[in-house]
Chains A and B, each alone.
Chain A
Amino acid sequence: MTLYHNSKHKLRNILRTIDSLLDGDFPFDAGKRALLRLKNVFIEFEKKIDRAKRLSDEKTIEQLSSNINVKIIQVLPILGFILRSTNVRNAFELLDPLQSLADLTLQGNPELILSSEWDYVPFAYPQSLKDLRSFVLIGLPASEAASALLVPLAGHELGHAVWRNLGIEGSAHLTLQQKCQELYRNANNLQTFKRTFSEYDPDDMVAKEILPETIARSVEYAVFQAEEIFCDLFAYAVFGEGYVHAFSYILAPGSSSNRRSKYPSYETRISTIRKVAEKEGITLPDTGELNFSSEIPLVNARDRFILRMAEESVAEVTNGLWSKIDQIIHEGNVCRPKKANALAHLKEFQIGIPAHRPECLGDIINAGWKYYDEILNSREEAKIPERLDCLNEMLLKSIEVLEFRRRAAHDPDRKKTR
């Protein structure tokens, strides 16, 4: 038994697994194309490891075996994701408006695959799987995959694709890195750094590396946090107030975990969106009104210092992030929600009919959240579950009407949605 033979066997098995998935039924072709792309990745690995074997290059065989293991670890959840994208658990009605949004905001020909996750948090693939770079994979929690009110969360996840596809990450990274380096050069901060990281010694060959490694960590957190804020603001731009309600629904109260450095605090996220909304004359609920409680702060002084540097640098770029989103929305001619439209649709939902002549997905969802509140505040508690199910059906029907109107409209310049 050798690494070479074990790796070859693993490759055969993963290729067989992909082939068996390709034999299935796909309501949309994007899933099949993604599988073919992944199949090719493993075929290439097979060629490489055979080449290393012919060279009797044991070191490279060993490294390739590691690569193969890691790729299988990355790809298996995606295979499951693609398989689940064919399941009727998903609300296929959501695919067209989200694909339209992807077409309007991303370069090239993005292919959206919407699926469910056996994981509570909505997720966008592939964060690190560059093999599927022309695909946008968005997963909603399986228990909520058919909930139309949560489609703004898919908007947030689409924001991750926009962040990468349009080079926002590159631009933001440059600025954040410069800001972090400035912060670490600041006399007060440097003093705190030296006190907190007492083993730092600029004259010691090993200990001197503590400074750049710490800066690197702050930059890493800053870029992750800036990306999350970008995605929040993108989802707000497309869905308006509906986004903060969906955000609250899925995450509040948010007190069951320690503060994670790669994410801004809930307070920061909500207040950033509120500030942008305020400039547009819209008042959004605050973290208290959205049922968030304070997160457990980091205990370790070093972690807190690294995080503070990251957060201070991120605070300086949020206006710039919104400007970019504004530009993307305008250039893509993306429909932004209007209060008057949402109120009109609310009246329609109140009499039990889908939205009449909807123009914008955000309008439908915002009307939905308003009606959701009305249902919960009604006195007929026993009827709430049934009424909420009915609301979901009306929302999905309204989204179908939106798709019909889009397809029926004559617009030769608009990208075709598959």
Chain B
Amino acid sequence: MSDDVEFMTPADLSMEAALELEEAKQGLRSDAPSLTALFEFLRTPVPGFSGGPSVSMLNDMRAYPLLRDSLDKRIDRKKIDYTKFEEFLMNYFCSLEEGVKSLDRKKIEEAKHFCLAFNTRILARQMSEVYGRRERSDARTVSDDSLPQLEA
């Protein structure tokens, strides 16, 4: 719990990356280090107990729907299989990073879309936690165990 180390959450990183990508798109900069930091955060396992093994967000089943739904809608959903999702995302992140590095406008836009979509879903999860804590009048009659929603 160091006070001095700057710590950014995935929500912070994704917003910072979105800004940097827009700046890159407008020719104001030639890199997006926060994008790299965001992908690194997602790839890196959180510390386990006594330095033991742990999970990263990429192989965290709880994060699967969040990450899947942050992807560009043009990506063929048939290619997405949860058992190979980590590998898919690693390759996807690499392609985005390469595209941004070479200032490919389409890739910059796609990376920015990912950051904003990811941020939206992170916020939605945070709000679920807030509402889950509150004593709402409908909390007793509506189960919070809603069925998985299927997107059309």
Contacts and interface: CB of A to CB of B under 8 A. Distances in A.
A214 B148 contact: yes
A67 B143 contact: no
A180 B150 contact: no
Nearest to A69: B123
B137 interface: no
A261 B127 contact: no
B93 interface: no
Nearest to B45: A170
Contacts of A127: 129, 133
Nearest to B10: A130
A1 interface: no
B11 A171 contact: no
B130 A167 contact: no
Interface in B7-58: 7, 9, 11, 15-16, 18-19, 22-23, 26, 28, 45-55
B1 to A, nearest CB: 3
Please classify how large the interface on chain A is, using the bins under 10, 10 to 19, 20 to 34, 35 or more: 35 or more
A265 to B, nearest CB: 15
Contact of B143 (A215, A262, A298): A298
Given A67-B119, A219-B61, A257-B140, A52 B152 contact: no
Contacts of B53: 171, 174
Contact of A167 (B54, B82, B116): B54
Given A60-B19, A60-B116, A171-B52, A207 B1 contact: no
A63 B116 contact: yes
B87 interface: no
A128 B126 contact: yes
Contacts of B26: 55
B23 A216 contact: no
B129 A210 contact: no
B144 interface: yes
Contact of B123 (A67, A214, A217): A67
Chain A, interface SS category:
helix
Interface stretch (A13-21, A299-307, A357-365): A299-307
A223 B63 CA distance: 13
A119 B135 contact: yes
B145 A170 contact: no
Contacts of A257: 140
A209 B148 contact: yes
Most buried by A among B2, B140, B148: B148
A168 B145 contact: no
Interface string A234-252: 0000000000000000000
Interface string B106-149: 00000000001001100100110110110100001001110110
A182 B80 CA distance: 21
A74 B130 contact: yes
B22 to A, nearest CB: 5
Contacts of A330: none
Contacts of B74: none
A386 interface: no
A48 interface: yes
Contacts of B68: 209
Interface of B: 1-3, 7, 9, 11, 15-16, 18-19, 22-23, 26, 28, 45-55, 60-62, 64-65, 68, 77-78, 82, 116, 119-120, 123, 126-127, 129-130, 132-133, 135, 140, 143-145, 147-148, 150-152
Q: Which 8 A-B pairs have the closest CB atoms?
A: A108-B1, A170-B54, A212-B82, A213-B148, A303-B145, A134-B1, A167-B47, A170-B46
12 contacts: A55-B22, A60-B18, A67-B11, A67-B119, A128-B126, A165-B1, A167-B48, A170-B46, A177-B61, A257-B140, A302-B147, A327-B50
Given A60-B18, A67-B119, 12 more contacts: A55-B28, A128-B126, A130-B7, A165-B1, A167-B51, A177-B61, A212-B65, A216-B62, A216-B65, A223-B62, A300-B143, A303-B143
